[in-house]
Amino acid sequence: MHAGRGWPTLAHAMTTARRPAPAPSGSFEYRLQRTPVGVVILDVCRRVTAVNAVAGRLLRLRDANPLGVDILDLHPSAARARVRWLIDAAENADDGTAGMVVTTPMGSLVAKVTLLGDGGFCMMFHALGDLPMAGDAAADRPRLLKLPIHRGSATALVDISDVLCLSARGHYAEALTAAGVHLCPLPLAKLEERLDPLVFVRIHRRHLVNLRHVRAVERVDGRWTLALTGEHTPARIPVSRDKVDLVRRLLAV
């Protein structure tokens, strides 16, 4: 039957089909829709046969051509054993899938591998938590080793490992250490971009917590909180509802 005589055209159907309502900004669904996912396809010999642009950024390929390259050669040496184990686990799993956290030049990623029907593999990965994935400019920023804090008219530097928690304070941040609370002249969002996302985790819109200094996890009236080491810490640091699953995975609670 010709278009226009009882049957809608494809274009008409596409324009009149009901589209799902966009998720509210800031919600888990909103972030899920906007989270870039890297995809790499491997052949039976575990060589790259296809890669999308997001994977290229995450693996820092830039102008390099990864096609035909062993997937292990695209990861730092410290992460290769884990990547090999991940692919082996998917190959031997009953459902042909496996997942874990792996380390790449850009940072820590959640990776999942699926065994394909032809014996190859599909690798999919995305940033852990709120790790920036906008592009190479963010990826090239070096990790912070020292944190600047105000002490009177001078700027002092403290070791990142000594920072228990960072909290938003207007356009700046408050750094909590064993010695007390200090004002840092950098905003929380900028600090988050420069810190290891497996160590400093955004558990709340106002708080970045050093998980190495968490001494207890409590759930009261359905609300999750973290207790930190040190006598100067607040009674509890709240965990946002959308961060509970991430905190539970990282702390195995």
**Burial classification of residue 118, based on how many CB atoms lie within 10 Å of its CB (0-12 exposed, 13-18 middle, 19 or more buried):** exposed
Residues 29-74 pLDDT 10s: 544 455 678 899 999 999 999 998 888 777 777 667 888 999 988 8
Q: Point out which residues pair with 210 in neighbouring strands.
A: 200
Residue 107, class by beta-carbon neighbours within 10 Å (0-12 exposed, 13-18 middle, 19+ buried)? buried
Look up the pTM and report it.
Answer: 0.48
| Arithmetic mean of pLDDT over the chain | 78
Does residue 137 have a pLDDT over 50?
Answer: no
Distance from C-alpha of 186 to C-alpha of 155, rounded to nearest angstrom: 12
Q: Are 201 and 211 spatial neighbours (Cβ–Cβ below 8 Å)?
A: yes
At 15, the pLDDT band (50, 70, 90 cuts) reads: very low
Among the listed residues 128, 122, 104, 103, the one whose alpha carbon sits nearest the alpha carbon of residue 112: 122
In degrees, to the nearest 5, what angle opens at C-alpha 249 toward C-alphas 248 and 253?
40
The yes-or-no verdict on residue 21 having pLDDT over 80 is no
Q: What is the CB-side half-sphere exposure of residue 83 using CA atoms within 13 A?
A: 24
Report the distance separating Cα 205 and Cα 232, nearest Å.
21
Q: What whole-number distance in Å separates Cα of residue 13 and Cα of residue 204?
A: 43
pLDDT of 245 above 90: no
Q: What confidence score (pLDDT) does residue 30 get? A: 46
Give the C-alpha separation, 147 to 160, whole Å: 6
